[in-house]
Amino acid sequence: MNAADEYLLGDSALYGRLCLITELLGQFVAGAPRAVGLAQLEQATGRPARELLRLCKLLCREQLLHPHPGQPRAWTLACETSRLTLEDAFRCAMSEQASRARPARQKNAGTAEADARQQDAVHPEIGMLVMQATMGINQSVFQHLRQFSLDRLRMTAAGMFLSRRSPDDGLRSWPPARLSFS
């Protein structure tokens, strides 16, 4: 088994983004139907607010989240938890990866032109065969990911209580909630 077998489509960066987006969506699934705020996401994931904010905006653009009208920097799921799948997370990871690549391509316009010339050099039959295989693989990947609903992610019992009162120090938080797979 080689190292590429451990990652989705042999891409460790895509695999990492998919895991992070799934973790974020898992927090929203666990908190549904309540809103989840940026501070909660920071505490649960250990990721910086700037990155989480960017990803939540992406999830809003992809129509998986809605901004909460009464709370700034808080969101709610845009659908029922049972309708949210790994396919949704994967599509968001792909969208984010494409938007990250766009500025790099614009900076390297010469490289893009060289890539286009290289693609033109491919025999049309080979290009058609590879394109058909790519489409088939993508359809198969989406079909398989669609089978994994994110409502399978649940909060552990220790993470169900958000805070408690203590007479000596006011409001004290419980440790961040953990997701478990059931």
pLDDT tens string 138-174: 899 999 999 999 988 864 433 444 443 344 444 334 4
> What is the pLDDT averaged over residues 100-112?
63
pTM reported for the whole predicted model = 0.72
Looking at residue 11, what is its pLDDT? 84
Task: Assign 134 a pLDDT band (cuts: 50, 70, 90).
Answer: confident
Q: What's the average model confidence in pLDDT over 9-29?
A: 91
Percentage, residues of the chain above pLDDT 70: 69
Mean pLDDT over the full length of the chain: 80
Whole-number Å distance between alpha carbons of 114 and 167: 68
37 with 73: CB under 8 angstroms? yes
Alpha-helical segments (H) within 46-85: 49-61
pLDDT at residue 172, as a whole number: 39
48 sits in the region (left: phi over 0; alpha: psi -120 to 50; else beta) called: beta
Mean pLDDT of the 17-32 span:
94
Instruction: Tell me: pLDDT of 112 over 70.
Output: no
What pLDDT, in 10s, does the model give residues 27-74?
999 999 999 999 999 999 999 999 999 999 999 999 999 999 989 999
Residue 123 — very low, low, confident or very high, per pLDDT cuts 50/70/90? confident
Question: Is the torsion defined by CA of 48, 50, 51, 52 positive or negative?
Answer: positive
